[in-house]
Amino acid sequence: MPEHKVCPWWMGYVLACPILRPGQNPGKILSPYVREGMTTLEPGPGMGFFTLELARRVGGSGRVIAVDIQPRMLERLKRRAAKQGLLERVETRLAHPDSLGIEDLSGKVDFVLAFAMVHEMPSAEGFFRQASAAMKAGAILLFSEPKGHVKPPAFEANIETARRFGLCVVEKPQVSMSHAALLQK
């Protein structure tokens, strides 16, 4: 089994830079799925490349729960959200290697963004089990992995894992440089 590796915290600066992510426009990617008032979950947010757009889209009545295993990522995310006046919409949580720490969200989440992070989890099964438990009936999960890190058979195996936890593929949207699937509970 390959050694489990997490993207180092300092890479968050690179990952938050839109110039280095051509074709990955958070507004364009999220607009079909996220609306005002939603409760959204973003595991592995890094420094907020998608988080800030999620916070804009959920509005003042919505909420973004950003969960990361690295305190430095969360600190920088909060700083960026505060600078943009979005901090009150963003709740950060420190995860543990074996748990996202979202048990209290059971059946409360409208949308989950799993963007380029499942391959960094110790267990895709653990991730999909926890995400599915947090989702409301009818909620959606946008699952995307980078083509450079995740080969098609591994991506499809993760979709099969998600199916075991009640998530069905409803669409395979086009996301630049990525494999992507929209899953619904």
pLDDT digits (tens, 9 = 90+) for 73-119: 899 999 999 999 999 999 999 999 889 999 999 999 999 999 999 98
pLDDT of residue 3: 42
Residue 51 counted as domain residue: yes
Residue 1 counted as domain residue: no
pLDDT of residue 14: 45
pLDDT tens for the 185 residues of the chain, in order: 344 465 554 454 444 444 444 467 999 999 999 999 999 999 999 889 899 999 999 999 999 999 999 999 899 999 999 999 999 999 999 999 889 999 999 999 999 999 999 988 889 999 999 999 999 999 999 999 999 889 999 999 999 999 999 999 999 999 988 999 999 99
pLDDT of residue 5: 61
Beta pairing, strands 168-171 & 178-184: antiparallel
Question: What CATH number corresponds to the domain at position 160?
Answer: 3.40.50.150
Hey, what amino acid is at 33? Answer: Y
Q: Which residue has the tokens 């996301």?
A: 175
Q: Is 94:29 a contact under the CB 8 Å cutoff?
A: no
pLDDT of residue 98: 87
Number of domains the chain contains? 1
Nearest CA-CA partner of 93 in 74, 77, 79, 110 = 74
What are the Cα distances from residue 69, in Å, to 11, 83, 96, 98, 169?
A: 14, 23, 6, 10, 28
Q: Domain containing 100: what range?
A: 23-184
Hey, what amino acid is at 6? Answer: V
Nearest CA-CA partner of 130 in 164, 106, 154, 108 = 106
Task: Tokens for 79, please give them.
Answer: 């700083």
pLDDT of residue 163: 98
pLDDT of residue 158: 97
Residue 10 counted as domain residue: no
Phi-psi region of 133 (alpha: psi -120 to 50; beta: other; left: phi over 0): alpha
Phi-psi region of 27 (alpha: psi -120 to 50; beta: other; left: phi over 0): alpha
DSSP 8-state secondary structure symbol assigned to residue 4: P
pLDDT of residue 19: 44
Residue 78 counted as domain residue: yes
